[in-house]
Structure 1
């Protein structure tokens, strides 16, 4: 049996959680799917699945083999795309994942202009906070904010945005405005998980760098819930100016501790591999790197 075919069957069985489901996806018989797995187990001299009459689960060896198989199959797919020159023109579906605010207000408007140039290309855009597993979720490009922890991914810096600490006038009237970073320990600080580090706010002043561990009455994995909470007087927030700029302009939020510098929030495009990039990924990276730095300096509508 062809090893790559068997590996693909194995991945499909693992994802589907059953031989029948994988066989249906691959348009083969259940017996053939089982044969492929048995052949792999024989060659590897190890069991890849725990089988009972009611369930199917990966063994420890199976979990390790699944990760390697996915990588091998992805590498083969990319290599074949290069050899058959499928990379000459952007085509197919480009799946993009981005944080909700920057995705909806700054990246999505550019997609219209981008897609006008490529009639054979369509975009699937997922808006969600936090980091994603690009390979498992089939994401071509993800937009990440702040510090990158996964060194296995390839990242291209697109832009940066200034961060500000602010609160509603009502909150500041009731609790006073913090003057120094240490004052934040006595305030309710609303935390956005999507901007690492999760609960540490960092400042630069004449006395050097200072990091404060903050706590508060609300946390969220995206900006809008805590922005709304801050506008309604629940506490202080540290968010990019592109998110809170309009609230500041309209007086709904007021910036505090402006004498302290805050390192800008870096914005990255992240993708799984540097080699054999498809034309759709290359073209979008080039487009968004030209589009976003200008847009990020504008307040959201």
Structure 2
């Protein structure tokens, strides 16, 4: 168990008032929040929270531990602030990864502004069509799209995007428009094979997440290429809006199955959960979160 991460999570649960609210704040699944709190209780050998299906409250031990936990978190914050003071002339080199085609989400603009303010800072960008192992590949910060599993990393909600079911008007004219995701199995599906689960297309029905299992009529490990295949009328694609919006605006693609789309999926800044984070990385993350624009 990462004790500091569990303490931080427990504090967020109390501050937000529920496990589900903490899940939204930290952008990890509710079950991971619950597991961290349970691990914390097991570590200290006591019950910290009373839980029911409708409410939760601190136990007497939970109140005592919460006070101590907050003192620990405040001490760490003061230490990090002191480190910032000692490193107020920022310099160094960071490597950041992001999905290919995602620059329109706005993070290039905020990082460029940060570099103008701190000319001794260098940033290398890796736009990749695959899941990256941040530790093995030396990535300091990763831009990730979608819900994130619990891990030894911290995720900060940066933005959001939609994922669209799209096809060309010519394909719809020739093959017809599916009315339900179940009908995708009789259509030509264009697959972005860089996704972790490329043959599972997620959708929402009656406010519940579902997925349709599809087969590949054609596939590519690049979302832009898949969008181009859809424009050529080869089939239906399932792609994030940062890849499709310009084609939707031009009329080269149209949205289908709108009633089954998720409203938004999160875009997160992901970085290692270290006790003393690199002051340069900490400053960049703070700047990115504080200087988002409406398009971000």
TM-score, structure 2 as length reference: 0.65
Q: Is the 8 A contact 1:90 1:280 kept in 2?
A: yes
- State the number of aligned residues: 216
Cα shift readout 1:157-182 (whole Å, capped 9, x = no counterpart):
21111121110111111111111111
Cα shift readout 1:9-59 (whole Å, capped 9, x = no counterpart):
xxxxxxxxxxxxxxxxxxxxxxxxxxxxxxxxxxxxxxxxxxxxxxxxxxx
Aligned equivalent of 1:230: 230
Shift of 1:263: 4.9
Change (3 A) 1:176 1:259: same
Q: Is the 8 A contact 1:145 1:268 kept in 2?
A: yes
Aligned equivalent of 1:143: 143
Shift of 1:105: 6.5
Instruction: Please give the residue correspondences for 1:139-288 in structure 2 after superposition, counting only pairs within 5 Å.
Output: 139-149=139-149, 151-206=151-206, 208-288=208-288
Distance 1:207 1:123 in 2: 41
Change (3 A) 1:173 1:83: closer
Q: Is the 8 A contact 1:160 1:293 kept in 2?
A: no
Distance 1:192 1:294 in 2: 28
Distance 2:106 2:194 in 1: 17
Cα shift readout 1:259-285 (whole Å, capped 9, x = no counterpart):
223252221111123321112211221
Distance 1:207 1:94 in 2: 40
Aligned equivalent of 1:134: 134
SS of the residue aligned with 1:294? coil
Change (3 A) 1:115 1:267: same
Change (3 A) 1:216 1:291: farther
Q: Is the 8 A contact 1:99 1:222 kept in 2?
A: no
Q: Which runs of 5+ in 1 are unaligned?
A: 1-78, 297-301
Larger radius of gyration: 1
Change (3 A) 1:209 1:123: closer
Distance 1:161 1:141 in 2: 19
Distance 2:103 2:86 in 1: 28
SS of the residue aligned with 2:139? coil
SS of the residue aligned with 1:215? coil
SS of the residue aligned with 1:295? coil
Distance 1:202 1:87 in 2: 45
RMSD value over aligned CA atoms? 2.6
Aligned equivalent of 1:36: none
SS of the residue aligned with 2:183? helix
Q: Is the 8 A contact 1:153 1:270 kept in 2?
A: yes
